[in-house]
Amino acid sequence: MSTTLADIGLVDWANTVIGLVGLGAAGFALLQTRRSNKAAAEANTISRGANELAGQANRYAEKALQLQEEEGLVRLVVKPRMMILVGDDEDDDRRPRPVVEVVNLSAFPVTVTGIHWKAEGANGKHSFYWKNPTVANPFGQLPARLPPREALTAVGIPTSFKSLDDLASITAAVAYTACGEEFEGMTDQWRETVAKMVAEGKSGGAAKKKLEPLRALRTV
């Protein structure tokens, strides 16, 4: 069988058509691949966002659980200071005296039964009992039921400590609660004022007078 030029032309035309169809199919496949890659990238982005949201949700859940646990805890802040109280009476004693503020950060009322002092000196560690401090209104005395987010203030007299050595030995004020817990605190103001009093030798008569001495509870 002889092959004519027409047959050859027809074959070339068919090959050309097939090539064009293949090229079109390849282009379409490439386009679909790009679309698939874009969709996959978007899916990965959405997945990462979902993972981040899940992580945030877990952190919020942990925080909520922590807050729930903290709501059941007794939390007090104890702030001792040495202050000079000024009133209308010209004969007021202007010597520094111990003042302790107890703040209730709990979510419920807490009964404060007493305030003691921690000390550390030449005789080692020990505690002092604060006898009959004046508790400011509206509480008036200890024990005192302290509502949430409120504070009570206990005030001593200039001779609450019988000597500068006792005063200088104080390391913290301690508040005791009816549920048997204790919370201690110290402030820079106390440290700085006491250090100044000791340096200047201003005993204020505490070494001579014993109007309201602190009584040692125990020696550790």
Phi, psi of 121 (to 5 degrees): -145, -150
Residues 79-120 have pLDDT tens digits of 999 998 876 565 677 889 999 999 999 999 999 999 999 998
Residues in the chain: 220
**Range with the lowest mean pLDDT among 29-38, 74-83, 207-216?**
207-216
**pLDDT at 206 exceeding the cut of 60:** no
pLDDT band at 20 (very low <50, low <70, confident <90, very high): confident
Look at residue 24 in the predicted model and tell me its pLDDT.
Answer: 76
Share of the chain above pLDDT 90, in %: 39
Q: Are 186 and 100 in contact (CB under 8 A)?
A: no
User: Bigger pLDDT: 121 or 137?
Assistant: 137
Mean pLDDT of all residues belonging to the chain = 80
The pTM for the full model equals 0.62
Rounded mean pLDDT of 14-34?
Answer: 76
**What pLDDT was estimated at residue 39?**
79
Name the 3-class secondary structure at 140.
Answer: coil
Tell me phi and psi for residue 103, to 5 degrees: -110, 130
Helix (H, G, I), strand (E, B) or coil at 109: coil
Give the pLDDT confidence score for residue 9 in this predicted structure: 67
Percent of the chain with pLDDT over 70: 77
pLDDT of residue 129: 87
Short-list 116, 84, 100, 82, CA closest to 194: 82
């047959």: which residue's tokens?
7
- Residue 51 pLDDT: 84
pLDDT of residue 122: 64
Cα separation, 10 vs 114, whole angstroms:
112
Q: What is the mean pLDDT of residues 197-212?
A: 56
